[in-house]
Amino acid sequence: MTAHDGMFIDGGWRPARGAGRTEVVNPATEQVIATVPAGTAEDVDDAVRAARAALPGWAATPPARRGELLTALSDALAARHEEIATTITAELGSPIGFARRVQAGLPVAVARSYADLAASHRFEERIGTSTVLHEPAGVVGAITPWNYPLHQVVAKVAPALAAGCTVVLKPAENTPLTARIFAECTAAAGLPAGVFNLVTGLGPEAGQALAEHPGVDLVSFTGSTAVGRRIGAVAGGAVKRVALELGGKSANVILPGADLDRAVRANVADVVRNAGQSCNALTRTLVHTDHYDEAVALAAEAAAEFAPGDPTDPDCRLGPVVSARQRDRVRELIRKGAAEGARVVTGGAEPPEGLDKGYYVRPTVLADVTPGMTVAREEIFGPVLSFLRYGDTDEALRLANDSDYGLSGAVWAADQDEAVAFARRMECGRVDINGGDFNIMAPFGGYKQSGVGRELGVHGLQEYLQTKSLQL
């Protein structure tokens, strides 16, 4: 076990104000692998003061120079790719192949995209007789989740820095080791002191202190809708800006005539990705009644290919969930689904065979799910897929939109124009058409209780800018 010390504040590591510690547990072995300081309100205040002091100089730094430093940050992350991947596998349980490809690889590309945007974005424009300036929003308090511990950090910090903001980051307590590596990379990239600051700790203490701090101009939070509501209320009460990327219960709509086998297999792979711990996971599958039984059988067959296992094994495709609490919650929701009338086709709430240690959940397919069931309404955040049937496309649309959430969705159809027409009527922020690829330059964010604001690409950059009009 490694005992890490210090908070990254004002360009270097300094002792934490308090003596509290947070344990980091390997979810595959249930062993404590490290401890980090549990930040206090005093640590947060130190970090915000450093960010506030650094703001004028960083905001005045030419955007092209900010882009150069973001390129250096991207290079520093790329240089530590393998270390980042193995760290995420150790503290989150992501299979090492997925950790290398997505958890460590994707953030490098995102950081580089903001390096390019910093250099190319029009921070000044002419509208009639006015000059409109796009200026940094100020000091950003970034609070990130554990499911994509580096990607979510980069998706907030990189656009904030590109915009000319300074940042205080409070990462999830489950995955602080990745955030510490990121802090080291900002130093290696040559970012000026105070431009980026890191405080580790618990949400109710360090996270709340950051959200409430009067020196923070904008709070960017990714996590549960329940916590997002509280942060939104705090920010609203202080009349400060807020960006919230919250939960999801995304629908995958398979229209008649679509390639059923491809659509179902892609759906199963999507739901077991990262052990189901993705806010945009397509956890509700809507299939026409004529093809329903075949689709469910295909899903059970596909799920059998994802046996839970050791995430350090390069062949592993399904690791544990992040914690005992998360494992117990997922298993309880599976039980509740069965109690409410869902049919467990494969998987279930029982522990996987042969895995005496680790927070594992069987990949589970639930059939005969109806719209009012808990498993059709609540975000499970585990490898659980629910099948609902529909009679016609109007009913499919009603079911797809019958959710408090509106983060993502997907449509499969034989004709792409038909799929696009259906997608246009879905109440969500992003829709995959026939398995369309993830695009890091397209906006990511949701409707309804899935949040406020957007991440990635130019839309993500704009979240950290405010406008000033010069009337000439």
Q: Which of the residues are catalytic?
A: 245, 279
**Interatomic CA distance for residues 472 and 468, integer angstroms:** 13
d(CA 248, CA 456): 18
Pick the closest to residue 401 from 463, 448, 366 (CA basis): 448
Q: Residue holding tokens 């210090």?
A: 6
Token digits of residue 286: 């809507």
DSSP labels, 286-326: EEEGGGHHHHHHHHHHHHTT-----TTSTT------S-HHH
**Helix/strand/coil for 74:** helix
- In order, the DSSP letters of 436-455 are PPP-TTS-B--EETTEES-B
Query: What span, in angstroms and rounded, lies between the C-alpha atoms of 237 and 251?
Result: 34
Q: Which two tokens stand for residue 2?
A: 């490694």
DSSP-based three-state secondary structure for 59: helix
Number of H helices, E strands in the chain: 16, 23
Contact 119, 96 (CB under 8 A): no
Closest Cα to residue 43, out of 177, 200, 212, 194?
Answer: 200
Do the Cβ atoms of 213 and 141 come closer than 8 Å?
yes
As a whole number of angstroms, the distance between CA 418 and CA 429 comes to 19
- Using CB atoms within 10 Å of the CB of residue 338, give its burial: 0 to 12 exposed, 13 to 18 middle, 19+ buried: middle
Decide: 412 and 419 in contact? Cβ < 8 Å.
Answer: yes
